[in-house]
Amino acid sequence: MPDFEKLYYGMVRASEAALRALEQGEVLKAQSLLIAAQRRAEQEYLDAYE
């Protein structure tokens, strides 16, 4: 079973980093951070069922 708490906190950390990037006007960096976090979470979720 996936560790949903770990997945949740990973997404929260990425969201916070993306907000900081947006505050600095780094839109592409913010986008990249969120996409990477989503991919990591999805992969960890899938790996938990293998």
pLDDT value at position 21? 98
Per-residue pLDDT, 50:
80
Q: Looking at residue 43, what is its pLDDT?
A: 96
Question: Read out DSSP for 1-50?
Answer: ---HHHHHHHHHHHHHHHHHHHHTT-HHHHHHHHHHHHHHHHHHHHHHT-
pLDDT in tens, 1-50: 889 999 999 999 999 999 999 999 999 999 999 999 999 999 999 999 88
Task: Count CA atoms closer than 13 A to 31's CA, side-chain side.
Answer: 4
**24 is in which domain, residue-wise?**
4-48
State pTM to two decimals: 0.88
Q: How many domains does the chain have?
A: 1
